[in-house]
Amino acid sequence: MKRFFSENFFQNSENKKVLEDYPLIGKGKDGEVYLLTPNQCIKYFFEEETCKKELAAFQIGQVSPVIPRLHEYGDHYIVMEYVQGTSLASHIKTEKSLSAELTAAVLNMLDELKDLGFTRWDAEIRHILINEDGELKVIDHKRAFSSDARVPVKLLKGLEKYGLAAEFLTTVKKLDPSRYLEWQLHMQVSENPHM
């Protein structure tokens, strides 16, 4: 496969201007994402250290269906699969509900993160993407090994924003009662550390 950029291409900050030729599709505090082809995008990182953290998670995650395919990387960038579809945040904003099937897929996604050895078993709803086949993909893994989140607090906060956290937890209780109890226990301990 032809490389888009040499590994240390972006060490010269002037070279970043080449990305202006591509559509900007995302921007955050750690970097920017540009669409390179209909199936590939590049995440450019402002800090090399952040890139290294996310790259480590992507490399380990290539065995999992919930991690986008990795195509190329360098000191400040990762070229990965562009997920055609929508974010979970956009989906629930439109649908105003969360089906049992989608809840089961989210639980499976969380299990995948755990099985990969990630210590963060959580994701923000805007970082959970639903592709055209209805499969979930998770992006933004810079804290996969530096954060210890065994309960999906960010996921639940995102669902709460749309009034769907209680519905999600009710479905989790039906689908996986032991996981529901584990989350409840952990959340109670977190809220009352002196209990």
- Kindly state whether residues 107 and 174 are assigned to the same domain: yes
Q: Which band of pLDDT confidence, cut at 50, 70 and 90, is reported for residue 21?
A: very high
Cα(15)–Cα(106) distance, rounded to whole angstroms? 39
Cβ–Cβ < 8 Å for 98, 167:
yes
Please check whether residue 2 lies inside any domain of the structure.
no
pLDDT recorded at residue 148: 83
pLDDT for 75-126, tens place per residue?
999 999 999 999 999 999 999 999 999 999 999 999 999 999 999 999 999 9
Q: Are residues 64 and 136 in the same domain?
A: no
Residue bearing tokens 């039906």: 174
> Do 43 and 137 belong together in one domain?
no
Report the chain's mean pLDDT, rounded to a whole number.
91
Last residue of a domain, one of 81, 110, 128: 81
Give, as one character, the DSSP assignment of residue 9.
G
Whether residue 115 is found in the same domain as residue 75? no
Compute the average pLDDT of residues 165-179.
95
Instruction: Look at residue 188 in the predicted model and tell me its pLDDT.
Output: 58
37 and 104 part of one domain: no
Mean pLDDT of the 116-139 span: 94
Assess if residue 126 is contained within a domain: yes
Total domains in the chain come to: 2
Same-domain status, 69 and 145: no
Cross-strand pairs, 43? 33, 78
Last residue of a domain, one of 81, 106, 132: 81
If 0-12 CB within 10 Å is exposed, 13-18 middle and 19+ buried, where does residue 96 land? exposed
- 99 and 177, same domain (yes or no): yes
Percent of the chain surpassing pLDDT 90:
81
Query: How confident is the model at residue 123, as a pLDDT?
Result: 93
Residue-level pLDDT at 13: 80
**Eight-class DSSP state of 17:** G
CA R_g for the chain: 18
Which H or E element spans position 109?
Answer: helix 100-115
Domain membership of residue 4 (yes or no) is no
Q: For residue 154, what are the domain limits?
A: 85-191
pLDDT at 138 over 80: yes
Residue 1 falls inside a structural domain: no
Whole-number pLDDT of residue 185: 79
Q: Are residues 89 and 182 in the same domain?
A: yes
138 & 161 share domain: yes
pLDDT in tens, 51-70: 999 999 999 999 999 999 99
pLDDT of residue 1: 57
Domain termination site, one of 47, 81, 115 = 81
Residue 194 has pLDDT above 50, yes or no: no
Helix (H) or strand (E) holding 175: helix 165-175
CA atoms of 49 and 35, how far apart (whole Å):
23
